[in-house]
Amino acid sequence: MTPRILVAGRDAQQRAWLRHYLQSIWPDIDPPTLDPDKLLAHATTISIQRHDALLLCTSFASHHGEESDGIRWLRALRRERQLPPIVVIAAHGNELAAVRAIRYGAAAYLPGDVLDARLLGGTLRRLAHASRRRRQRAVRAQRRPGEGNLPQLPGYTLLHELGRSARAGVWLARSDALERPVALKVSLPAPPGEPAQAFANEYAAIAAVRHPAIVDIHDYGVHDGREFIAMEYFPCGDLRQRLQHPMRPGEALQYARRIAAALEVVHGSGMLHRDLKPPNIMLRADGSTVLIDFGLAKLVDSRGNDTALGVLRGSPYYMSPEQAQGMPLDGRSDLYSLGVICFEMLTGRKPFHADSPMELMEQHVNAERPDVPDALAQWRPVLARLMARDREQRFRNAAEALASLDALAAIESEGASHAA
């Protein structure tokens, strides 16, 4: 599971360096950054409920007997009891500085000059695990009366939590009716007086499409003020997990064709996905792919002006230029996201990186798309169409994109036969 990390530090180069290390361990991580001067002002939003660890990058050098910046910050932060574990990335420190940092509340002290991805990853995995356990205890201790320790849903036995967001938890559960495991998405309790409608759009979107390439919904309802959706469980994981290991171009092409075919189904039903990214592409044991998470899906002819919501909740790494600008969307926005995914599958990296979501979105709008290596030259025309900044230059629809990918597969197959 990818930890939720916050990076605090003044040095932009150091923040970029840490981002590189973190993404070499967890490719999908996108840690927010904060100037240390703003830590205390934002302390109420920097909690164990939202973050697994805080990386504090600062100097532990003392001048003329004055207290170092690192100790000064730790001394101030120790008064905030809800902060996540603090991992110090220390510059100009020594053994005495390490002892003092731990004494003032640091969970770990890592000298910046010897830091590597292995040391950082091991430390954060250990702290994230402990942080999740503390978070679960804090949630149990702070539950509102009648909320209970776990969601209690008739007909389901909750086995363990698969993940959690700000609005819901996803559980591996056993369905009494189906007599098999399901993924059970359960909303957090709605505030008093407000209806439970967190999943209404997602349920309506998925229920309108019945196809093997779209996640299968088994059940939907509301119980004790909580919405729930019971859906297909995918023990093979998602494309994000698969991308943690190198992928052959032929394998990437097969995934791209399956995703394009799924988009053809979604768009053919009159919807846009609007949040296409590797974590929302699940894998079955037979190699097929399935689209999930239609919480941002929208009817193509919908008149509701909620594009801005998509900008805020869509993933900046995979967002089309028009979505980043808050413009009305059509199916070509999902095709741009498919192009970003193709680039990542082929190269092992995302096409654009930045220190903030806003900078990242600006790159989608204005930056030139990086090229792929010459060994992947046959992909260049397809990527150019999928990721064109001007959507008028993209494929007109998913069917056209799929036809181009099929043609590429035929070319590669013919080349392989000649090589044999």
Q: Cβ neighbours of residue 193 under 8 Å, at least 6 residues apart?
A: none
**Residue 315 near residue 276, CB atoms below 8 Å:** no
Q: Hunting for tokens 């792919």 — which residue is that? A: 289
Torsion angles phi and psi, residue 116, rounded to 5: -140, 175
**Residue 291 near residue 213, CB atoms below 8 Å:** yes
Encoding tokens for residue 317? 């790494």
275 as an active site residue: the answer is yes
Given 28, 238, 275, 293, which residue is catalytic? Answer: 275
Q: Cβ neighbours of residue 208 under 8 Å, at least 6 residues apart?
A: 269, 270, 271
First CA to last CA across the chain, in angstroms? Answer: 42
CA distance 286 to 278: 18
Torsion angles phi and psi, residue 213, rounded to 5: -85, 0
CA gyration radius for the chain?
23
CA distance 72 to 104: 9
> Which residues are catalytic, by number?
275
